[in-house]
């Protein structure tokens, strides 16, 4: 267990990575009674570094339809709060605004945004480092100049994304650049294919993970993808569950292909540590697992695209091979580009 003093020290170290300094304006955003202890620890950590910090607390949201767009609706009806957040240098988001219009407006004002919602043990264990940032940025450099991304796996996946339409996004767990968002913890890179530019087949194998379901599939689940949309999902119970989940949104745009990329944190585990079940929280550990390939279904508005469907699945996969313009980046679940490997394992 991490006590309140240790939490404050951990957050102070993190805010130093975010370059919080004397005179900066830091707002901690929370909602209802959730993560009150995070909000408090961030406040004092920020003040400790000389920042002018305050806490903005939203009322608990009305019951929703249970989708992932948590928190967004409260800010959507609260322009005064959005205006206040936009005047900050750094917003610590303990709500999880996701890619809501409110968050986009705050970032456009030049405010950097850090999401911190995962369990404290995970924040501590996957504490961000400049070295991970460098490796994620090395990946982003390769991804940004590629015109195709193809990935395969032993179960029959062979899918190609036509790139170039959308920017490349890095997540390495902290933010020190104006207007930049990040999510603690994280170490991965992604982009999206052109709206009509994803074709092929993705076949999930046993142990591939579904987020936000927070389950492993026993596989196989076979997705056929044509011109950027899923046209067929086949398999056993797993496929049935995915299909019925997606159908429940009654939105054809929910079948669009969203972001794709790979994970780079060698400290992240595929399995839960304690309790030994599924990794906790909202799955940032699985998204970050070194050498995973994660593809996503649904919206691409986070990349600047037109699809803002509420149907969203992130699916980290194991044992994949990923190629940029036919050059290998990940082979059988292992990163093969030197600049992206942990310092200790480079040749
Ligand atoms: Fe996603």
Residue by residue, pLDDT tens for the chain (347 residues) are 789 999 999 999 999 999 999 999 999 999 999 999 999 999 999 999 999 999 999 998 765 554 555 456 788 889 999 999 999 999 999 998 877 889 999 999 999 999 999 999 999 999 999 999 999 999 999 999 999 999 999 999 999 999 999 999 999 999 999 999 999 999 999 999 999 999 999 999 999 999 988 899 998 999 999 999 999 999 999 999 999 999 999 999 999 999 999 999 999 999 877 665 677 788 999 999 999 999 999 999 889 999 989 899 999 999 999 999 999 999 999 999 999 999 888 76
Tell me the C-alpha distance between 328 and 318, whole Å: 16
Partners of 316 in the beta sheet? 294
CA Rg value for the chain:
20
Packed helices 4-17 and 36-48: angle between N→C axes, nearest 10 degrees = 60
> What is the location of CATH 3.40.50.2300 in the chain?
4-117
> Around 202, how many Cα atoms within 13 Å sit in the side-chain half-sphere?
32
Nearest to 270 by CA among 309, 221, 228, 319: 319
For residue 217, the model assigns a pLDDT of 95
Distance of CA 144 from the midpoint of ligand 1 (Å): 18
Distance of CA 165 from the midpoint of ligand 1 (Å): 18
Distance of CA 48 from the midpoint of ligand 1 (Å): 34
Distance of CA 99 from the midpoint of ligand 1 (Å): 10
For residue 72, the model assigns a pLDDT of 61
Distance of CA 284 from the midpoint of ligand 1 (Å): 10
Positive or negative torsion for Cα 314, 316, 321, 324: positive
Distance of CA 24 from the midpoint of ligand 1 (Å): 31
Distance of CA 312 from the midpoint of ligand 1 (Å): 7
For residue 70, the model assigns a pLDDT of 43
Distance of CA 11 from the midpoint of ligand 1 (Å): 25
> Around 175, how many Cα atoms within 13 Å sit in the side-chain half-sphere?
25
Q: State the fold for domain 4-117.
A: Rossmann fold (3.40.50)
Contact yes or no for 227/152 (Cβ under 8 A): no
Distance of CA 50 from the midpoint of ligand 1 (Å): 35
**Residue the block writes with tokens 């929370």:** 30
């Amino acid at each position: 267990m991490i006590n309140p003093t240790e939490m404050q020290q951990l957050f102070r170290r993190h805010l130093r990575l975010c370059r919080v300094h004397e005179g900066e304006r830091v707002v901690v955003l929370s909602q209802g009674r959730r993560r009150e202890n995070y909000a408090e620890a961030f406040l004092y950590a920020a003040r400790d570094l000389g920042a002018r910090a305050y806490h903005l607390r939203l009322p608990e949201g009305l019951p929703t339809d249970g989708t992932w767009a948590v928190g967004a609706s409260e800010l959507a009806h609260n322009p005064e709060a959005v205006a206040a957040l936009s005047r900050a240098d750094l917003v610590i988001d303990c709500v999880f605004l996701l890619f809501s219009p409110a968050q986009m407006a705050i970032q456009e004002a030049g405010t950097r945004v850090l999401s911190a919602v995962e369990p404290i043990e995970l924040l501590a264990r996957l504490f961000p480092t400049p070295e991970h940032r460098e490796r994620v940025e090395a990946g982003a450099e390769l991804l940004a100049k590629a015109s195709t991304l193809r990935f395969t796996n032993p179960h029959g996946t062979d899918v190609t994304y036509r790139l170039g339409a959308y920017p490349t996004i890095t997540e390495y767990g902290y933010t020190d650049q104006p207007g930049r968002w990040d999510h603690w913890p994280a170490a991965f890179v992604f982009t999206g294919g052109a709206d009509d530019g994803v074709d092929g087949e993705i076949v999930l194998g046993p142990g591939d993970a579904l987020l936000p379901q927070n389950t492993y599939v026993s596989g196989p689940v076979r997705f056929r993808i044509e011109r950027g949309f899923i046209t067929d999902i086949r398999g056993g119970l797993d496929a049935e569950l995915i299909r019925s989940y997606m159908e429940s949104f009654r939105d054809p745009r929910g079948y669009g292909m969203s972001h794709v990329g790979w994970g780079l944190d060698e400290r992240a585990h595929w399995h839960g540590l304690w309790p030994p079940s599924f990794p906790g929280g909202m799955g940032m550990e699985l998204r970050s697992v070194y050498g995973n390939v994660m593809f996503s279904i649904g919206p691409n508005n986070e990349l600047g695209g037109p699809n803002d469907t509420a149907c969203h699945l992130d699916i980290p996969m194991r044992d994949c091979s990923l190629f940029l313009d036919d050059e290998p980046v990940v082979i059988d679940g292992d990163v093969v580009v030197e600049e992206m490997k942990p310092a200790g394992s480079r040749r």
